[in-house]
Amino acid sequence: MPSTYSRTDLYAEVQQFYARQMQLLDGGAFEAYAETFTEDGEFRHTPGREPARTRAGISAELHEFHKRFDDDPVQRRHWFGMMNLEPQDDDTIRATVYALVVTTRPGGKPAIAPSCVVYDVLVWEDGELFNRSRRVEHDQLFGSAAAAS
C-alpha cells in the first residue's frame, strides 16, 4: 500500500476498484476485467470448478462461461457490498464481500441469482490495486455442503 494511505483511503479505493471492475464484467469487457488481476492471478467464480489462472486464462474462462448467454439477452449486474477489509502484514488485503447478481431479461422483472460471498486477496502494484485471487462461494450451495460434510 502506498505509504501515505490511510485505512479510509483504502476503503474508498477498493470500492472504486470493485465498481469499475464489475462494470467491465457486466459490460462484457472480459480482457479488461482480466487485467484487474495480477499477471499470475487466480479466479474461481463457481464452486467445484477449477480456478482460472493468469490474465489470459481468466479471459478465456469468461469467454467460455458466457457462451451460455449467447442466445439469452440477459443483462447481469454484479453488486458488491458489506465489504470487510483486513489488511495483512505482507501488505496484501483480505476482502470478504457480499455479492448479488441481479439479472434482467427484456420486458422481465429483475431477479437475484445468486447470492454469494466473495473472498479476495488484493495487492498493490505501482500504486494500483489488483486481485491476486478471487474465490466466490454461492449461498444456495452452502446448506447442502454443510449438510454433506
Enumerate binding residues for a second copy (CB under 8 A). 6-9, 11-13, 15-16, 18-20, 22-23, 73-75, 77-85, 96, 98, 100, 102, 104-115, 117, 139-144, 146-147
Which bin fits 28, alpha (ψ -120 to 50), beta or left (φ > 0)? left
Could you tell me the smallest distance in angstroms from the CB atom of residue 29 to a second copy? 13
Decide whether 22 or 42 has the Cβ nearer to a second copy. Answer: 22
Hey, what's the cell of 46? 463457481
Could you tell me the smallest distance in angstroms from the CB atom of residue 56 to a second copy? 25
Could you tell me the smallest distance in angstroms from the CB atom of residue 135 to a second copy? 16
Give Cα 126 to chain centroid, integer Å: 21
- The burial class, CB within 10 Å (0-12 / 13-18 / 19+), for 109 is exposed
Decide whether 44 or 138 has the Cβ nearer to a second copy. Answer: 138
Could you tell me the smallest distance in angstroms from the CB atom of residue 147 to a second copy? 7
CA atoms within 13 A on the CB side of 149: 6
Decide whether 54 or 104 has the Cβ nearer to a second copy. Answer: 104
Hey, what's the cell of 1? 500500500
Which bin fits 110, alpha (ψ -120 to 50), beta or left (φ > 0)? beta
Decide whether 60 or 102 has the Cβ nearer to a second copy. Answer: 102
Decide whether 42 or 122 has the Cβ nearer to a second copy. Answer: 122
44/145 Cα distance (integer angstroms): 17
147/9 Cα distance (integer angstroms): 41
Could you tell me the smallest distance in angstroms from the CB atom of residue 114 to a second copy? 6
